[in-house]
Amino acid sequence: MKPSRSLPVALTIAGSDSGGGAGIQADLKTFSAMGVFGTSAITCITAQNPDAVTGIEAVSSKLVTAQIKAVQAGFPVAATKTGMLFSATVIHAVARCLKSGAFGPLVVDPVMVATSGARLLLPDAVEALRRDILPIATVLTPNLNEAEILADCRIRTLRELQRAARVIAKRFNTACLAKGGHLRGGDVVDVLCTGDDDLTLYTAPRVRVRGTHGTGCTFSAALTASLALGEPLHEAVAHAKQFVTHAIKQARPTGRHQSLNFSV
């Protein structure tokens, strides 16, 4: 019998969501559904559900570093994503690790504020994120609110979202996938900018559901998995958008909430 082909390995560096819908939990579910082996480094523990974040406690930067190094020592990481990093000290530690080893393409989901309104990035960590993490990314995946912060502009239209994607890509010298899920309209349009003259729009019909908790994490995790599988960036974005749209369409009731369905 021929040995089976080794699974590609993806690493997520993010916070834990006790509600299971976002963060590390969503990332690992997505990795598995897309056929890659998921590894993780947990940056903080949150007490939350889709309605609210009621507690956050950071993991020490020393332990975050140890987790990343343990994964690196044990697995050939094909692609990496960061999500909730929370503090400047953790950001510094993560940046040092990522700069010192081979972690494949880096997807940075610049998690700042939860849908419920809770801050997921301390004020002093915003500048650390801008300085230490964003410039080393392969691609950034800000939602509309995060894109406004990173581009220092107001976004209410698709044209403004396109302009913001260009500004962010140029400012941090990386590709930017600005997500348009919070814009009004029948379709959800995301904008990928890889340079001044390379702007690609990805469109899908808006799916009306009661809740979309975890869609941002799921999207960035699906993009990371696609890159781990060797897909080029434009193809990986299209694949990730298809995956998250399907997960929203197939959402299932879980008690009082609607949860994304990760089956493919």
Is residue 216 annotated as part of the catalytic site, yes or no? Answer: yes
Q: Is 217 among the residues known to form the active site?
A: yes
Among candidate residues 215, 218, 224, 245, the one labeled active-site is 215
Bridge-partner residues for 147, per DSSP?
Answer: none
pLDDT computed for residue 72 by the predictor: 96
| Active-site position among 29, 179, 193, 224 | 179
CATH architecture of 9-253: 3-Layer(aba) Sandwich (3.40)
DSSP run (H or E) holding 173: none
Strands 37-49 and 52-58 turn out to be: antiparallel
What are the boundaries of each domain within the chain? 9-253
Given 12, 212, 218, 245, the catalytic residue: 212
The token pair at 58 is 């950071």
Helix (H, G, I), strand (E, B), or coil: what is residue 216? helix
| Interatomic CA distance for residues 237 and 121, integer angstroms | 25
Catalytic residue from among 82, 174, 214, 218 = 214
Which amino acid, one-letter code, is at 97?
C
Which positions of the chain have pLDDT values less than 50?
Answer: 1
Q: Choose the catalytic residue: 216, 218, 224, 241.
A: 216
Give, in order, the Cα–Cα distances in Å from 1 to each of 4, 5, 35, 262: 9, 12, 22, 32
255 is catalytic: no
Q: How confident is the model at residue 211, as a pLDDT?
A: 64
User: How many whole angstroms separate alpha carbon 130 and alpha carbon 226?
Assistant: 25
Query: Which of the following is catalytic: 30, 217, 218, 245?
Result: 217
Q: What is the pLDDT of residue 117?
A: 57
Quick check: is 212 catalytic?
A: yes
Alpha helices in 40-194 (DSSP H): 61-74, 88-100, 123-128, 144-151, 158-172
The model's pTM = 0.93
CA gap 79, 236 in Å, rounded: 12
Read off the pLDDT of residues 6-31 as tens digits, 9 standing for 90 and up.
899 999 999 999 988 899 999 999 99
Residue 183's contacts (CB-CB under 8 Å, 6 or more residues apart) are 144, 155, 156, 157, 158, 161, 189
